[in-house]
C-alpha cells in the first residue's frame, strides 16, 4: 500500500515539475512573438497582442492571451477585422520540447468580427481566402511543415473555435449593414493543401424577421487549379416574422468553385433542398433537387439548373383537398447579361391536374414573358375546397357590408408584356363541359388581346377574338364571337334552369362594353349580333295550337291536350345592342305550317320583353294539326310577346281570326239564302 502511494506521489510531483519546467524553459513572451511573426508570414496581416500571455494547466495545457486584434489590410477602415478580449490556445506538450507549437485548438471567446465590402466589391477577407502573391522585396513564407517563427519554433493549428461572437457585415457600396449574434465557428485542422472541416451557426435579425442559420462542410483548396471544394455542404436556415409564421429551409450538396480567366465557375451537383412552412392558414413541406451550374464573368452570372424536380404537399383553409400534393420537373436557365429567364421541358402535377409547358422571360427594359402550356384535363371542381367556419363568416360579413362593389383597377397591366398559349383537352365545371380549348393572348402597354380562342361545347364550336383596354378605369372591352352548331337548349338548361328555346345556334357579331361587373356590362353593352337557330322549337308555347284553339272557340269547342312547343326549321334575327337595350327589326321564323315575322326589343337590365310579330299560316301539316288551319291560310295574325325573361306572356290578337271566321261563315250561307244569281255574284 505504501509503495502505491509513493508511486502516485512521484507521478504527481513529476507532472508538477514538468509544468514548472515548461514555464521556465518557454517564456510567454517567446510565444507572443512567435504568434505575431507566424501571422505576419502566413497572411501579411498585423496581429497585436496588448494583454498578457499566461499558461494554464487545467483542464489541459494551454495559453491564455488577452486583448488580441487582427488588423485590416491596407485600404480598409482602421477598425480591426477581429478583436478578442480573451483567447485560449490548447497546445500539445511533447512537441514544445522539440521547439514545435502544435495548437490543438484556438479558442476565441466572445470576439467581435467586422467584415467590410467596398464599393468596388473587394472584402477584407480576400487576401485570406486566396494565395498570397510574391512581391518584390518580400520575404517568402516557409512551407507549413518546415516553417519556423521567432525563436525557431514551428507552428501548426489543428482547429479554431469561436464562441458567442458578434459579427457585423457592412457593404459600403449599397450602404447595407447587418448584425449577427450568437455566432459560432468550429474548424478542423487547418493545413495548406489538406481538407478542413468547418461548422458555423448564428442567430440574426433583419427588419422584424428573426432567424437562425447553421452550415457545415469539408473545405479544400487546390492552389494550382484555383479550385475550392465544399464536400457534403449542409445548410439550415429558419425565418420567423413577427406575425408568427415559421419557414425552415435546408440544403445539401457538393459545392465546387473554380477561378476562370475572367470570373468564377460554381457547381452544386447534386443539390437537394427542403422547405417547410408552418402558418395559421397554410402548412406545407416541399423538396427540390437538381444540378446547379453557375458561371460568373465580369460580375455577370449565368445560371443553369438541370434535371430539376420538385415534390411537396400543402394544407390550409384556402387549399382545396384535391390540390394538396404537387410535383414538377424541368430545366431552368438565367443569364444576367441578356436578362433572360427560361423554363424548358416542364411538366408536373397538382393533385389530379397534369400540365406541361415552357416559359421564357426577358427582364429588361420591361418584363416580357412568353409561355406555352398544355393541360389534358382541367376540372374546375378541383378548386372548390371547404372553407373554415371563420372564413365563411368573414365572407358573409364582407358581402353584407360591400353593397356597391367597385370595378377592378387594371392599369397595372401597363408594366406587363406577355404573350402565350394555353391548350386544354377538356374543361369541366359545375355548369361546363368543353373540349379542345385553345387560347392565345398578348398583353402589351395595358391592352390584352385575345388573338385566338376556340373550343367545342354543346355539340358546337365557339371561336372568338377580343380586346381588353386596361389603361382606363373602368376597363373597356370588345369581343367578336363566332358560334356554329351550338345546341342552345342544354346550355340554357344548365345555366338558367330553364330551356325556353332549342335548336342549333349560329351567332356572329361584335360586342363592346365598359367594366367587368355584371351590372355595368349590361348597361353599357353595344354592338351587332346576327342570330340563326335551326331545327329547333320555342318551348312553353304552341303557336299552332293557340290558333286552332282560338278558331275552335268560335265553334264552342277547344282542345287542351296540345304539346306546349312551337317547332321551327329556322329562326333568325339581326340584333342591335345599345345602352343596355337589345332590339331587332327583322325577326323571322320558318316552319312547315307557319311564317312569323316581326320586330321588338328587350332591356338587358330590367329583363322585360316587348316584341310584335305577325303570324301567317302558309301550309298544311298533319303532325301539327295543320288541316284544321287550312281556312286560315294567307291570313296574318298579330302576336305580342311581353312580360319578363323568366315569365313571358304571349298575347294572340283575335281580331283577324274572328274576321276570317265570320267571312268564311258568310260565304257559306249566302248562296243558300240569296237567289242563285246574287249568290253566284257573292261567290
Output the pLDDT for position 5: 41
Asked whether residue 292 carries a pLDDT value surpassing 80, the answer given is: yes
Task: Print burial letters for 72-85: b (CB count within 10 Å at least 16), e (below 16).
Answer: bbeebeeebbbbbe
Q: Which residue has the higher pLDDT, 372 or 12?
A: 372
Q: Which residue has the higher pLDDT, 602 or 567?
A: 602
224: Cβ contacts below 8 Å, ≥ 6 apart: none
Mean pLDDT (the chain) is 78
Task: Print burial letters for 249-264: b (CB count within 10 Å at least 16), e (below 16).
Answer: bbbbbbbbbeeeeebb
Alpha carbons 134 and 140: distance in angstroms, whole number? 7
Q: Can you read off the three cell numbers belonging to residue 677? A: 244569281
Asked whether residue 136 carries a pLDDT value surpassing 50, the answer given is: no
Output the pLDDT for position 287: 95
Name the pairing type of β-strands 501-514 and 594-603: unpaired
Q: Lowest-confidence range among 19-28, 210-219, 560-569? A: 19-28
Output the pLDDT for position 286: 95
359: Cβ contacts below 8 Å, ≥ 6 apart: 341, 342, 343, 346, 369, 370, 371
- Name the residue with cell 378541383: 382
> CB of 96 within 8 A of CB of 55?
no
Indicate the helix (H) or strand (E) that contains 267.
Answer: strand 263-278
Task: Please count the other Cβ atoms lying within 10 Å of the Cβ belonging to residue 626.
Answer: 22
> CB of 296 within 8 A of CB of 266?
yes
Q: Lowest-confidence range among 378-382, 511-515, 549-553? A: 549-553
Output the pLDDT for position 28: 64
Asked whether residue 439 carries a pLDDT value surpassing 50, the answer given is: yes
Q: Can you read off the three cell numbers belonging to residue 159? A: 482547429
Alpha carbons 453 and 480: distance in angstroms, whole number? 10
Q: Name the DSSP class of 72.
A: P
Nearest to 108 by CA among 163, 63, 65, 62: 163
Asked whether residue 515 carries a pLDDT value surpassing 80, the answer given is: yes
Average pLDDT over residues 663-678: 51
| DSSP-derived 3-state class of residue 213 | strand
Q: Can you read off the three cell numbers belonging to residue 16? A: 508538477
pLDDT (tens digit per residue) in 163-191? 888 888 888 777 777 778 888 888 887 76
Alpha carbons 1 and 553: distance in angstroms, whole number? 142
Provide, rounded to the nearest whole percent, the portion of the chain with pLDDT above 70: 75
Q: Which residue has the higher pLDDT, 107 or 233?
A: 233
Q: Lowest-confidence range among 367-376, 386-395, 484-493? A: 386-395
Extended beta strands in 280-401, E state: 282-297, 300-316, 325-335, 340-350, 353-362, 368-375, 378-379
Indicate the helix (H) or strand (E) that contains 126.
Answer: helix 126-129
Output the pLDDT for position 250: 93
Residue 307 phi, psi dihedral angles, 5° rounding: 45, 40
Output the pLDDT for position 37: 82
Give this prediction's pTM: 0.70
Torsion angle, CA of 129/132/133/139, rounded to 10 degrees?
170
Output the pLDDT for position 601: 93
* Helix axis angle, 543-553 to 655-673, nearest 10°: 40
Output the pLDDT for position 556: 42
Q: How far apart are the first and last CA of the chain?
A: 162
What's the Rg (C-alpha) of the chain? Answer: 45
Alpha carbons 148 and 41: distance in angstroms, whole number? 10
Asked whether residue 7 carries a pLDDT value surpassing 90, the answer given is: no
**Angle value at C-alpha 115, between 111 and 119, nearest 5 degrees:** 165
Alpha carbons 542 and 247: distance in angstroms, whole number? 68
Task: Please count the other Cβ atoms lying within 10 Å of the Cβ belonging to residue 232.
Answer: 12
Q: Lowest-confidence range among 224-228, 424-428, 677-681? A: 677-681
| DSSP calls for 644-662 | ESSSEEEEE--HHHHHHHH
Average pLDDT over residues 563-578: 87
Q: How confident is the model at residue 289 (pLDDT cuts 50, 70, 90)?
A: very high
Output the pLDDT for position 328: 96
Alpha carbons 168 and 80: distance in angstroms, whole number? 12
Output the pLDDT for position 183: 85
Amino acid at each position: 500500500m505504501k509503495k502505491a502511494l509513493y508511486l502516485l506521489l512521484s507521478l504527481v510531483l513529476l507532472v508538477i515539475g514538468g509544468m514548472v519546467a515548461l514555464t521556465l524553459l518557454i517564456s510567454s513572451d517567446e510565444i507572443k512573438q512567435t504568434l505575431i511573426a507566424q501571422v505576419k508570414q502566413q497572411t501579411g496581416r498585423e496581429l497585436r497582442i496588448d494583454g498578457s500571455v499566461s499558461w494554464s494547466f487545467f483542464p489541459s495545457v494551454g495559453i491564455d492571451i488577452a486583448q488580441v486584434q487582427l488588423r485590416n489590410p491596407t485600404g480598409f477602415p482602421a477598425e480591426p477585422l477581429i478583436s478578442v478580449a480573451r483567447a485560449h490556445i490548447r497546445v500539445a506538450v511533447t512537441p514544445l520540447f522539440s521547439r514545435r507549437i502544435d495548437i490543438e485548438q484556438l479558442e476565441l471567446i466572445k470576439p467581435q468580427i467586422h467584415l467590410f465590402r467596398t464599393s468596388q466589391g473587394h472584402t477584407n477577407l480576400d487576401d485570406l481566402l486566396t494565395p498570397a502573391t510574391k512581391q518584390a522585396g518580400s520575404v517568402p513564407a516557409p512551407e507549413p511543415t518546415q516553417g519556423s517563427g521567432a525563436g525557431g519554433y514551428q507552428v501548426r493549428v489543428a482547429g479554431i473555435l469561436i464562441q458567442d461572437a458578434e459579427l457585423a457585415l457592412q457593404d459600403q457600396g449599397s450602404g447595407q449593414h447587418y448584425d449577427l449574434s450568437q455566432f459560432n465557428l468550429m474548424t478542423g485542422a487547418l493545413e495548406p493543401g489538406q481538407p478542413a472541416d468547418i461548422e458555423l451557426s448564428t442567430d440574426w435579425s433583419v427588419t422584424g424577421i428573426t432567424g437562425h442559420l447553421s452550415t457545415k462542410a469539408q473545405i479544400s483548396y487546390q492552389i494550382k487549379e484555383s479550385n475550392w471544394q465544399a464536400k457534403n455542404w449542409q445548410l439550415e436556415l429558419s425565418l420567423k416574422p413577427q406575425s408568427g409564421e415559421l419557414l425552415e429551409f435546408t440544403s445539401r450538396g457538393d459545392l465546387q468553385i473554380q477561378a476562370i480567366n475572367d470570373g468564377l465557375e460554381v457547381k452544386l451537383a447534386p443539390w437537394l433542398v427542403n422547405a417547410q412552412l408552418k402558418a395559421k392558414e397554410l402548412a406545407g413541406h416541399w423538396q427540390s433537387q437538381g444540378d446547379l451550374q453557375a458561371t460568373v464573368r465580369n460580375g455577370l452570372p449565368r445560371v443553369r439548373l438541370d434535371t430539376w424536380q420538385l415534390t411537396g404537399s400543402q394544407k390550409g383553409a384556402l387549399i382545396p383537398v384535391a390540390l394538396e400534393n404537387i410535383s414538377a420537373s424541368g430545366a431552368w436557365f438565367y443569364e444576367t447579361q441578356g436578362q433572360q429567364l427560361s423554363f424548358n421541358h416542364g411538366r408536373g402535377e397538382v393533385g389530379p391536374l397534369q400540365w406541361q409547358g415552357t416559359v421564357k422571360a426577358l427582364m429588361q427594359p420591361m418584363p416580357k414573358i412568353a409561355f406555352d402550356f398544355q393541360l389534358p384535363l382541367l376540372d374546375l371542381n378541383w378548386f372548390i375546397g371547404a372553407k373554415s367556419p371563420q372564413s365563411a363568416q368573414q365572407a358573409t360579413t364582407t358581402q353584407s357590408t360591400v353593397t356597391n362593389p367597385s370595378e377592378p383597377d387594371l392599369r397595372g397591366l401597363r408594366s406587363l408584356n406577355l404573350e402565350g398559349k394555353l391548350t386544354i383537352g377538356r374543361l369541366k365545371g359545375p355548369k361546363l363541359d368543353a373540349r379542345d380549348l385553345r387560347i392565345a393572348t398578348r398583353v402589351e402597354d395595358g391592352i390584352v388581346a385575345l388573338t385566338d380562342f376556340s373550343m367545342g361545347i354543346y355539340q358546337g364550336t365557339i371561336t372568338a377574338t377580343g380586346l381588353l383596354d386596361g389603361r382606363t378605369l373602368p376597363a373597356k372591352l370588345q369581343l367578336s364571337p363566332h358560334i356554329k352548331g351550338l345546341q342552345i337548349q342544354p346550355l340554357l338548361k344548365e345555366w338558367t334552369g330553364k330551356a325556353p328555346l332549342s335548336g342549333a345556334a349560329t351567332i356572329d357579331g361584335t360586342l363592346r362594353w365598359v367594366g367587368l361587373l355584371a351590372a355595368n356590362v349590361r348597361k353599357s353593352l353595344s354592338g351587332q349580333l346576327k342570330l340563326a337557330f335551326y331545327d329547333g322549337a320555342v318551348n312553353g308555347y304552341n303557336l299552332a295550337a293557340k290558333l286552332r284553339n282560338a278558331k275552335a272557340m268560335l265553334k264552342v269547342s277547344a282542345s287542351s291536350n296540345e304539346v306546349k312547343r312551337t317547332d321551327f326549321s329556322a329562326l333568325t334575327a339581326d340584333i342591335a345592342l345599345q345602352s343596355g337595350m337589345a332590339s331587332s327589326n327583322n325577326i323571322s321564323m320558318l316552319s312547315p305550317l307557319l311564317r312569323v315575322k316581326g320586330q321588338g326589343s328587350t332591356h338587358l337590365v330590367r329583363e322585360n320583353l316587348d316584341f310584335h310579330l305577325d303570324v301567317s299560316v302558309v301550309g298544311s301539316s298533319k303532325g301539327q294539326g295543320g288541316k284544321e288551319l287550312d281556312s286560315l291560310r294567307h291570313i296574318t295574325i298579330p302576336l305580342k310577346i311581353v312580360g319578363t325573361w323568366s315569365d313571358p306572356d304571349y298575347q294572340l290578337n283575335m281580331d283577324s281570326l274572328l274576321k276570317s271566321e265570320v267571312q268564311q261563315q258568310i260565304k257559306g250561307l249566302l248562296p243558300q239564302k240569296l237567289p242563285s244569281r246574287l249568290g253566284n255574284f257573292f261567290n
